[in-house]
Structure 1
Amino acid sequence: MRAPLSWLREYVDLPAEVTGRDLAEKLIAAGLEVETVDRAGADLEGPLVVGEVLAIEELTGFKKPIRFCQVDVGDANGTGEPQNIVCGATNFAVGDRVVVILPGGELPGGFKIGSRKTYGKLSEGMICSVSELGIGEDHGGILVLPADTPVGVDAIGLFGLRDDVLDIAVTPDRGYALSIRGLAREAATAYGLPFKDPADVELPGETAEAYPAAIADPSACDRFVLREIRGLDPDAQTPVWMRVRLHRAGMRPVSLAVDVTNYLMLELGQPLHAFDRSALTGPIVVRRAAPGESLETLDHVKRTLDPEDILITDDSGPISLAGTMGGLTTEIGDRSTDMVIEAAHFDDIGVARMVRRHRLHSEASYRFERGVDRDLPLYASYRAARMLAELGGAEIVPGVTHAEAPVEAAAITIPAAHPGRVAGVAYDRDTVVRRLEQVGCAVTGGETLTVTPPSWRPDLTDPNDLAEEVIRLEGYEAIPSRAPRPAAGQGLTAAQRLRRRVGRALAGAGYTEVLAFPFVAAKDWDDLQLPAGDARRTTLRLANPLSEDEPLLRTTLLPGLLRALAHNVGRGFGDAALFEMGVVFRPRPDAPARAPRLAVDRGPTAEEVASVDAALPDQPHRVAVVLSGDRERSSWWGAGRPALWADAVEAARTVAAEVGVELTVKQDRHAPWHPGRCAALYVGDTLVGHAGELHPRVTKAYGLPARSCAMELELRRLGEPVTPRAPHVSTYPVATQDVALVVDTAVPAAEVEAALRDGAGALLEAVRLFDVYTGEQIGEGRKSLAYALRFRAPDRTLTAEEASQARDAAVAVASERTGAVLRGT
């Protein structure tokens, strides 16, 4: 919210010496976030005055229009004689009032003005446009002033061209601060001065109805006000002072009717909308959208409406997205004269969801989302009608349409000592009552107060909200700083230590950790090629998603990781190895539809905690990796190699090693992996995850290089982590025995390895597969697996006979279990 200081001064009599920076310090102390204070027009130096064009001579012989003008600037030039000025603009005529900067002045940007000869004439100054004055963008050239603007007066003071502008970042709970009215109230409180409410206008005693309207859905809108004006002069211009203020506040002047509604929205915080009266057909109704309805909004986009959308409609159908943007068919045009002015109070949550659904954010929706004063529509609409009558010659049609769904004001009960207990500072009852009344609350009671928040503070719903108001107005700096005494901790849990070890191990193996959003779209399940009925398709939908494109909670880590990988590949980092650890959300089939709401004035009971846990989804921790491009790069040391499915399997083994378990790898078919290059990962008989090469359709859907690989496993299924200990290092030499076994092609190498381990006994230190061979010498449907067996005894040097006996025992068990035979026998 950008707030000119001069505008704030209209409603609070700040001392003359108070600057924008002084006020910013006060507002920051009161809890508002003032980001910057801009000194608008600080580089504008006079003499800058109002002049009247007396004569215009058209100069010829040039490629563009050049005019030699005589301008009356009164006594501003010290002589009273007309000022001679050369100008290239053509949008003004003799008799027009314009802004003139005389020699010696300076325009924004360091543009100094002097007398100089140009186009064969002596030019003594410049006739200014709005961009040259720093108050807007040029639309037609020179700024032409109303005919009654006095000649020779200082234009800087007349139009407020020099001002301090506060730029305030308004938090979602302080919607009232999105208006000059709200900020002026805060300034008045900060300085202890009276506040003049711009909404404090006397309404006419009207009983007749203006344009007919009704509220069909009270949950969408609880107050809807219409007023009607006729005969607006379509050529009436927005006053310069209003255009300056709109520009300073960050809005572009458009036309008188639009500018008045925008001006009052900024001043009061109440969004307004004007409909072209001639384009309306039948009564106006506020309702939710019906199936199949659509609306073309003012941005020329035809939008398909959702049943939860809040609409303003007439007999022709939807004419506006309530509180967000009007429809194209009822837009007021350059020649519109008859208008219906709408002011309403819409449901804040409904508007927030609607703007996110349609990706259609506006200044109006920004305010409705944060809460608008429910009592303002009557006053704001009347002020708009009156301003259009005063500035544009319109006639106010007697009567007002006021549709309302009654809303009872909620009272909050709070002990007078509660703010002090929250702050750790004693506040007496009178202080608490005074501060709450300054906010606008009605307060009754003794030591226990009954507080009714004002209509402009819908965020005050809880005793702690009231405590915050007292504390911030008393000053956060008055709260003493005391270092808290932390309770003695017990360190990290075993699960936390495991996750840290896994992260360090994967980082040491060359993987980079990423943190992806836990939100996915239904399209992700199709992109991952998940079959119908797959458990991962059963998801939870967020009630208020950050984006309607991704409203679901993830059931696998892979979508976010694959998008991160695609993001890197798209920026030229094709050789990537990423990992993520996080929870996934797997709905329980027997869970209740909604978690219970617990009281906040006490701790929950064991039964209440259990009821909440029962409603929550299962949230296991998982770890996943994705790889693409080269795993080892080529260089002077030799050729590199691409990332393979085996690297994904090895990443799983790296994770398992931190738990202290060994994985059994079996071939499997499981989306999103390639059906012929997918490994199921087991610990004993427990399936813990999958790894391998991604399906070609998956890499295409996510825009990844062909043959990208991935792994995902569930940490808790690996079992309880063992405390890592340094391995015992034997001082005796190792005995190595190689063995080549021939088995059927369908026999997994992991089964052969397991049989060798079991058969070799305690002397076996390690077993490694170092060669796989298929060919005519082995026979069709057969393969040769060559293993290196390392034997070592902890207390002696093994003899060759002992090593051979252990090897033969290992081969015997492998032969018995898998049908393996020694190659060459």
Structure 2
Amino acid sequence: MRVPLSWLREYVDLPATETGRDVQAKLISAGLEVEAVERLGAGLSGPLVVGKVLTIEELTEFKKPIRFCTVDVGQANGTGEPQEIICGARNFAVGDKVVVALPGAVLPGDFRIAERKTYGRVSRGMICSGDELGMGSDGTHGIIVLPPEHEVGIDATVLLELFDEVLDIAVTPDRGYCLSMRGVAREAATAYGLPLRDPALLDVPAPNSYGYPVQVSDPVGCDRFTARTVVGLAPEARSPIWLQRRLQKAGMRPISLAVDVTNYVMLELGQPLHAYDRNRLDGPIGVRRAEAGEKITTLDGTVRVLDAADLVITDNRGPIGIAGVMGGAHTEIADPETDAETGFVTGTSEVVIEAAHFDPISIARTARRHKLSSEASKRFERGVDPQAAAAAAQRTVDLLVLLAGGTAEAGVTEVAAPSAPRTIAMPANHPDKVAGVDYGRETVVRRLQEVGCDVYGQDELVVTVPSWRPDLSEPNDLAEEVIRLEGYENLPSTLPKPPAGRGLTERQRTHRRVGRALAGAGYVEALNYPFIGEQALDQLGLDADDARRRVVTLVNPLSDEEPALRTTLLPGLLGALRRNDSRGSHDLALFETGLVFRPEGEQGVAVRLPVDRRPTDEEIAGVNAVLPRQPRRAAVVLAGAREQAGWWGKGRPSDWADAVEAGRTVAAEAGVELIISADQHAPWHPGRCAAFHVEVNGEKVLVGHAGELHPRVVKAYGLPARSCAMEIDLDLLEQANEGPLRAPRISAFPVATQDVALVVATEVPAAEVEAALREGAGELLESIRLFDVYTGDQLGEGAKSLAYALKFRATDRTLTVDEASAARDAAVALASERTGAVLRGA
């Protein structure tokens, strides 16, 4: 919402010395998000005056049309003589009043006006357009042609209100009343402690039976509809300069008088309005739900197919507008046209004004369904004051009568559903408890009255909420109003005092340890949205019966392309990998920890729990029963170099082994050792995929996979060649851990290292050899590490050599060579028995 400071001063007597920055600070302190203050006219200085075009001479000897003009600027030039000006624009004629920048003037952008010779003549000034003066576009893209009644030689900067400050306010969804000058003025008046001149306080005639007929068939969707009629409008009447300038400053383009007036009143009071050409209406105005498949051509010229849930405005021919969103083209205000023979101006002379109140949810859904956000829909979906409709209609009628010479008909139509004021019961000390500050009853009552509430009672307050604040629905909302008006900055900073013995759960500790370990291993955390679409699952190459294709679909997704909750972390991470690679970061190692959503069995629909009481155990159990399983997982993706090359040596690219090692790192933080074996599982390469298992209650349980991605997946996602990934279930790792992590026992005795190289068949997994060595070595084995893998002619086809470093240590003595050798021999013997391993060179 753009708020011109000059307009704001009409409703609040702000101190004359207050600048836009000062008002910004006050409103921010009151809780509004004032993003910027724009200074209009910055860099502009006069003389800038009104002139009258006396003569125009067309200069045809140049490549483009050029006009040599003489302009009467009165005594503004000090001589009273006509001012000679060269101009290339062609949208003005002899006798028109224009804006003239005389020599010495400076226009925005440090464009200095001086007397100069050009096109063989001397130009003493410039005839200005709106863009050149920083006024913004009015739709004409040409020279400003002023109404003829303005006197020659007067200061145009005052006439056009070129100097002003505009506050740009980002209105949050709960503060819809601030999408109006009335709402912002109320906040400014409260912030400064000044009285408000409410523009909605108008004398409005009582409803009667003489107004334009209106039939509301859906009182839930439209609980109030006011119609007023103005006749005898002058079709040639134009919006005055002050009205056009206020619209421009507020970010709207002037169109025609009737439309400009409805937009002006909407900005002023926050009530969207619509003007119909009465001569184009056919019968009574109706409000109903659309019939599925009905069509309407909206004001933007688009033919739209309506949904049965859309609320529409109709006449006897059918829909003439999408309620609260956009009007139809069939009843729009006609542009004035001048008859070439008679000179008479024709156009709309009779207008029916609509001021209605529509259901916010219905309007929001319709606007999103048709991808048609308008100034009206933005206000209706945030909540419009239903009591302001009659005042807005009256304000519109008054302006049309004043500016277009019309006559207001006596008929006043008002269709309103019965309603009662909303009240909230609240203890007087409730804001004190919420904020931890002793405000006292008097402060609470005063602040709520400043908001517009009526307050009764002593210790227990009964608060009647104003009609323009639909967001106030419970005591906490009222407490928030008191706190923000008293100043968030005045709240003391106090640390909470948690009860003793509480802290992070073991699941939370594991999650944090895993994140720190991966970060320490060189991975960068990438947090992604938990939403996916069918395309992402197709790109992963998942089979039709893959469990990851069974998703939980959202009722109201943020994006139609991603309507479901993720069943795996990989799509988000691979998307982040692709984006970073496309932006020049080619050496990447990313990780993410978070929930995935895996539905099981028949998924029901969760019921909405009550908020006026604690839900029963049965209600909570019913909601939990339909929730999907939500395991916590960790995943990594890698591409490019894992170790950079430099003066220290050669680098190396990331490969499947790095992904497997990431799984080991995660498992180590959970206090679990992985059992690793070869596997085939999408989206990994069938020959470079490892499965992770752990033992849970004596059984092997699959917890994740790692390896190089399948080439088809790499191509589908647009990833670097040979990208790798790992995904592992943290909850299953926690189940495999028999107890809390214990610190390692450190021995003071020296270590004995023994190396062994075993030759096995190529198809034998290294993990099986390692497991046999570990078991055979017994309790003296401290660690085992595979440090070399060799294949070649020396071994023959179908064989490989695995070299392991075994470290032995005792906790109570220094091991002898015989003891270490015996443990090594036992390990080799068991490995030979289980895997057929043979000592290399034996």
Instruction: Give the TM-score category using the shorter length.
Output: 0.7 to 0.9
User: Paired residue for 2:324?
Assistant: 323
Q: What's 1:671 paired with?
A: 682
Distance 1:760 1:47, change over 3 A: closer
Look up the match of 2:717: 702
Distance change >3 Å, CA 457–CA 793, structure 1 → 2: closer
Moved more, 582-591 or 243-252: 582-591
Work out which of the residue numbers 742, 747, 753 in structure 2 matches 1:734. 753
Residue of structure 2 in register with 1:438 after alignment: 450
Matched, 1:470 2:482: yes
For the 8 Å contact 1:357–1:547, the answer to whether it is kept is no
Q: Which residue of 2 aligns with 1:417?
A: 429
Aligned equivalent of 1:511 = 523
Quote the residue 1:262 is aligned against.
263
Aligned partner of 2:108 in structure 1 is 108
CA distance in 1, matches of 2:799, 2:356: 79
Matches within 5 A, 1:350-361: 350-356=362-368, 359-361=371-373
Residue among 464, 471, 486 paired with 1:452: 464
| Paired letter, 1:516 | N
Which amino acid letter does the alignment assign opposite residue 24 of structure 1? Q
SS at match of 1:456: coil
Partner of 1:750: 767
Deviation at 1:653, TM superposition (A): 1.0
Give the superposition deviation at 1:622.
1.1
AA aligned opposite 2:250: A
Amino acid at match of 1:737: V
Aligned pairs (5 A) from 1:169-208: 169-208=170-209
Alignment of 1:553-702 (within 5 A): 553-587=565-599, 589=601, 593-594=605-606, 597=609, 599=611, 617-633=628-644, 640-684=651-695, 685-702=700-717
Aligned 1:786-801 pairs, distance under 5 A: 786-788=802-804, 790=806, 792-794=808-810, 795-799=813-817
Change (3 A) 1:642 1:449: same
Distance 1:806 1:394, change over 3 A: same
Q: Which runs of 5 or more residues in structure 2 are unaligned?
A: 337-346
Aligned counterparts of 1:749 and 1:33: Cα–Cα separation in 2: 61
Aligned CA distance change for structure 1 residues 421 and 509 (closer, same or farther; 3 Å): closer
Alignment of 1:530-545 (within 5 A): 530-542=542-554, 544-545=556-557
Distance 1:432 1:803 in 2: 80
Taking the aligned partners of 1:728 and 1:95, their CA distance within structure 2 comes to 104
Question: d(CA) in 2 for partners of 1:245 and 1:27?
Answer: 21
Deviation at 1:766, TM superposition (A): 1.6
Q: Secondary structure at the match of 2:131?
A: helix
Tell me if the contact between 1:749 and 1:785 (Cα under 8 Å) persists in the aligned partners: no
Question: SS of the residue aligned with 1:762?
Answer: helix
TM-aligned CA distance change 1:585 to 1:407, over 3 Å:
farther
Structure 1 residue 663: Cα displacement: 0.9
Q: 760, 764, 771: which one pairs with 2:789?
A: 771
2:34 equivalent to 1:34 = yes
Count of aligned positions: 818
146-155 or 396-405: which moved more?
396-405
712, 723, 726: which one aligns with 2:742: 723
708 and 16 in structure 1: CA distance in 2 versus 1, 3 angstrom threshold: closer
RMSD of aligned residue pairs (Cα, Å):
3.9
Shift in CA distance, 561/284, structure 1 to aligned 2, threshold 3 Å: farther
What is the letter of the counterpart of residue 695 of structure 1? H
Overall identity of the aligned pairs, in %: 59
Q: Verify: 1:272 aligned to 2:273, yes or no.
A: yes
- Measure the CA separation in 2 of the matches of 1:239 and 1:283: 32
**Alpha-carbon distance between aligned partners in 1 of 2:690 and 2:307, rounded to the nearest angstrom:** 44
CA contact (8 A) 2:635 2:727 kept: yes
Equivalent residue for 2:339? none
Point out the more displaced range, 394-403 or 54-63: 394-403
Inter-CA distance 425–707: structure 2 relative to 1 (3 Å threshold): closer
CA distance in 2, matches of 1:726, 1:313: 83
Q: Give distance in 2, aligned partners of 1:513 and 1:753.
A: 32
Q: For the residues of structure 2 that align with 1:107 and 1:633, how far apart are their CA atoms?
A: 56
1:202-351 aligned at under 5 Å gives the runs 202-208=203-209, 214-227=215-228, 235-274=236-275, 286-287=287-288, 309-312=310-313, 320-326=321-327, 332=333, 334-335=335-336, 337=348, 340-351=352-363
- Between the aligned partners of 1:790 and 1:482, the Cα distance in structure 2 is 57
Cα shift readout 1:206-256 (whole Å, capped 9, x = no counterpart): 534766654454454433444556676554432211121112112222333
State the 1:682 CA deviation: 0.4
Shift of 1:557: 1.2
2:132 alignment counterpart: 132
Q: Note if contact 1:211-1:226 (Cα within 8 Å) is conserved in structure 2.
A: yes
Query: 8 Å contact 2:787–2:805 — kept in the other structure?
Result: no
Contact 1:208-1:399 at 8 Å conserved across structures: yes
Select the residue among 391, 412, 426 that pairs with 2:403: 391
The aligned residue for residue 372 of structure 1 is 384
User: Against the structure 1 CA distance between its residues 767 and 295, is the aligned structure 2 distance closer, same or farther, given a 3 Å change threshold?
Assistant: farther
The residue identity in structure 1 corresponding to 2:728 is L
Q: Cα–Cα, structure 1 residues 676 and 356, in superposed 2: closer, same or farther, change >3 Å? A: farther
For residues 453 and 255 of structure 1, do their structure 2 counterparts lie closer, same or farther at Cα, with a shift above 3 Å needed?
same
- Which of 655-664 and 20-29 deviates more? 20-29
Say which SS state the counterpart of residue 130 (structure 1) adopts: coil
| CA drift at 1:151 | 3.5
- 2:344 is aligned to none
Q: Is the 8 A contact 2:755 2:803 kept in 1?
A: no
Q: TM-score, normalised by structure 1?
A: 0.87
Bigger drift between 638-647 and 445-454 goes to: 638-647
- Structure 1 counterpart SS, 2:752: coil
2:641/2:653 contact within 8 Å kept: yes
Structure 1 residue identity aligned to 2:804:
A
| Paired AA for residue 239 in structure 1 | P
Q: Which of 124-133 and 570-579 deviates more?
A: 124-133
1:74–1:670 CA distance, 2 compared to 1 (3 A): same
Q: Does the C-alpha gap of structure 1 residues 431 and 492 become closer, same or farther in structure 2, counting only changes over 3 Å?
A: closer
Specify which of 459, 473, 496 is matched with residue 461 of structure 1.
Answer: 473
How far, CA to CA, are the matches of 1:249 and 1:424 in structure 2?
Answer: 40
* Deviation readout 1:439-469 (Å, 9 max, x if unpaired): 2222333432222111111111122222333
Q: Distance in 2 between matches of 1:515 and 1:236?
A: 58
Q: Report the TM-score when normalising by structure 2.
A: 0.85
**Distance in 1 of aligned mates of 2:840 and 2:752:** 28
The answer as to 2:779 corresponding to 1:762 is yes
Unaligned runs of 5+ in 1: none
Distance 1:26 1:472 in 2: 12
In structure 2, the CA distance between the partners of 1:815 and 1:292, relative to structure 1 (3 Å rule), is farther
Residues 768, 68 of structure 1: alpha-carbon distance in 2 compared, 3 angstrom cutoff? closer
Give the SS at the match of 1:148: coil
Alignment-derived partner of residue 498 in structure 1: 510
Aligned in 2, Cα 1:401/1:480: closer, same or farther, shift over 3 Å? closer
Measure, in 2, the Cα distance between the counterparts of 1:587 and 1:209.
61
Worse overlay, 770-779 or 518-527: 770-779
Residue 89 of structure 2: aligned partner: 89
Distance 1:19 1:762 in 2: 80
Q: Say if 1:21 and 1:665 are closer, same or farther in 2 by CA, change over 3 A.
A: closer
Residue identity matched to 1:691: A
